[in-house]
Amino acid sequence: MKIYENSHYEKEECSCFMARDDKERFLVVTGGTKMEEFRGEALLMDGKKAKKCPLDVHNSRLVREIFPFTKPVSVRGRKFSIGLGDRLGIASAGHIKAVRGKGVFPVLAQQSIRELNLTGRTYDEVLADATWAVLQEGYEDGYGADGDHLKTKGEVAMALEAGFSMITLDCSEFIGDSNLTQSEAGHLETYRDCTFDLPGGVSINISEENYTETIAIYGRALEFTVEVYNELLRERDDVDFELSIDETMTPTKPEAHFLIAAWLKEKGVNVLNIAPRFCGEFQKGIDYRGDLMQFEKELRLHQAVAEYFGHRLSIHSGSDKFSVFPIIGRLTGLDCHVKTAGTNWLEALRCIATAAPALFRRMYRFALDNLDGAKAYYHIYTEKQMAPDDEALKDTELDRLLDINESRQILHVTYGYLLNETNPFRKIFFETMHKEETLYHEYLKSHIRRHLSSLMSMQ
Ligand code: ZN
C-alpha cells in the first residue's frame, strides 16, 4: 500500500487519508462519529478501528461535508480560470499538479451531456472523481464544477442537484430563424441604430440591420435563456452562469454579442461568461485553423463588448490552440475562461503508447474502424484515408501518433467507442493507467503547463 502524502486530513477525531495498492485507490478513515457513515470494510490499524472505503459517490459526499475545501465553489473574484474536463475520472490529480501555484482557478469537473452519454457516467460520479483528486493532492485553493453545454431545464436541474457550481447553457437549438416580432424585443429599443464607445478605444455601431438580424437569429434562444435563468438560477448566487452560443455554423458578430449581452442585462440575468463562436475553426485536439489577423481584430471587439457589460469571454475547444493563446492572453488581460476537454484522454493514450504498445495498436485500429460513427458527434477535417499507418512505426515510435494532427483527431473523437463498457479494451486500459499513474500525471502536467505558459506569454 502506498499512501498519498498530501491526503492526510483530520477533523473532530475523524482522520483520513488516501492510498493505493496495485489494483485500486481507496480511502482509509479512522475515528469520529462520522466513520460509521462511510461505506467500506472494517479493519484494524495500529490497534485502532478503521475502515477501508471505495472511492464512490456516497463516500465522496461525506468527504465534501466534513472537509469543505473538497466542494466545488464559484469562480467569482478570480480573473483567470481554465476548464479541465476529466473524461476518465483519473486526470484531475495531474491537472491539479499543473495549475498549483500558477494563479489560475481550475474547473476540474466539466462534462457535457454528450460526454456523459459516451462515457456512461453521471454528474454525481464526475463530481466524486474531482473530490477524490482534490483530497489526494491536498488542494485547498478551490475548484469549480461545470455542467457543460446543457440544453434543457432538466439537464440544468440535474447538474445543480449533483452540486455543480457552474452551469453552461447551450441555447444553440433555438438559434436560427425565430418568429419573434420586433415589438417582443421592445426592451432593446434604446440600443437600436446607435453607436457605443467601448473600453479600449473602440466603438460599435448597432445598425438597423444588425438589430433586426440579431433579434431574428437569437430572439427565441434568448427568451429560452431568460426562462431557464429565472426558473433555476436566479436565486443561486453560489452558481456561475455561462451562456454558450459557440456551437453554430456561422461566427458570432461582435454586434450580435453586444445585443445578446444587452438583452440579458435588461432582463436582469447575471451572466459570468459568454462563449461566442469565433471566426476560423476551433477543431478538437489541433491548433487554430484560420486567419490570425481576422481573429485578433474580432477578439478585440468581443473583449471590448465583454468589458462594457462586465462579463468574461469563454473560449471553448481551447486545447492545443497555441497560435492564438498569446493573442487571447494579451487582449483579455487573462480575465477570461478557457475550456479544454479531451486532451487529457490523448495524454492517457500517450501513456498507453509508451507502456503498452500492443494494446495501443489494437486501440488505434479500433478507433479507425469507428471513425465514421464518431464523426456524427464531432466536426473534424480528418478522413479515414488520411490516417497514418501504425505498422510503419516501431513500438518506441508509437507516441508520434499522438503528435500528428490526423491520428490525434481520430483518437480524440473515438473515446466513446474505446471506453464503451462492452469493449474488451476498457478493463485493461484502466488497469494499465492505474499502474502508470505517476507517468500520466507527468504528461498531464507538462501538457497543461504548455497551455498556461502560452496563454501567459504576452502578460
Ligand atoms: Zn462549446
Residue 37 lies in a domain: yes
Residue 207 lies in a domain: yes
Cα 209 to ligand 1 centre (Å): 27
Residue 206 lies in a domain: yes
* DSSP secondary structure letter of residue 356: -
Judge if 90 and 188 occupy the same domain. Answer: yes
Cα 110 to ligand 1 centre (Å): 12
Residue 112 lies in a domain: yes
Up-side HSE of residue 423: CA atoms within 13 Å toward CB?
22
Range of the domain at 30: 2-56
Cα 377 to ligand 1 centre (Å): 13
Judge if 168 and 310 occupy the same domain. Answer: yes
Q: Of 61, 69, 18, nearest to 39 (Cα)?
A: 61
Task: Indicate the burial class of 133 (C-beta count within 10 angstroms; 0-12, 13-18, 19 or more).
Answer: buried
Judge if 338 and 357 occupy the same domain. Answer: no
Q: Of 131, 10, 5, 126, nearest to 62 (Cα)?
A: 131
pLDDT single digits (tens) 232-283: 999 999 999 999 999 888 899 999 999 999 999 999 999 999 999 999 999 9
Per annotation, catalytic residue among 146, 242, 255, 390: 242
Up-side HSE of residue 218: CA atoms within 13 Å toward CB?
29
Residue 254 lies in a domain: yes
Specify the range with the lowest mean pLDDT, choosing from 107-116, 356-365, 372-381, 450-459. 372-381
pLDDT single digits (tens) 146-163: 999 999 999 999 999 999
Judge if 307 and 406 occupy the same domain. Answer: no
Judge if 378 and 277 occupy the same domain. Answer: no
Number of domains comprising the chain: 3
Residue 63 lies in a domain: no
Does residue 20 sit in helix, strand or coil?
strand
Q: Has residue 288 got a pLDDT over 80? A: yes
Specify the range with the lowest mean pLDDT, choosing from 53-57, 124-128, 265-269, 423-427. 423-427
SS3 content of the chain, % helix, strand, coil (to 5): 50, 20, 35
Quote the cell numbers at residue 336.
477570461
Judge if 83 and 217 occupy the same domain. Answer: yes
Give the pLDDT confidence score for residue 458 in this predicted structure. 80
We report the CATH number of the domain holding residue 207 as 3.20.20.70
148 catalytically annotated: yes
Judge if 306 and 327 occupy the same domain. Answer: yes
> What span, in angstroms and rounded, lies between the C-alpha atoms of 332 and 65?
36
335 catalytically annotated: no
Residue 22 lies in a domain: yes
Up-side HSE of residue 178: CA atoms within 13 Å toward CB?
23
Judge if 268 and 315 occupy the same domain. Answer: yes
> What span, in angstroms and rounded, lies between the C-alpha atoms of 343 and 87?
9
Judge if 225 and 275 occupy the same domain. Answer: yes
Judge if 284 and 389 occupy the same domain. Answer: no
Per annotation, catalytic residue among 86, 125, 148, 255: 148
Helix extents (H) in 40-122: 57-66, 92-99, 113-119
Cα 246 to ligand 1 centre (Å): 5
Judge if 255 and 133 occupy the same domain. Answer: yes
Judge if 29 and 170 occupy the same domain. Answer: no
Residue 348 lies in a domain: no
pLDDT single digits (tens) 363-379: 999 999 999 999 888 88
Cα 210 to ligand 1 centre (Å): 24
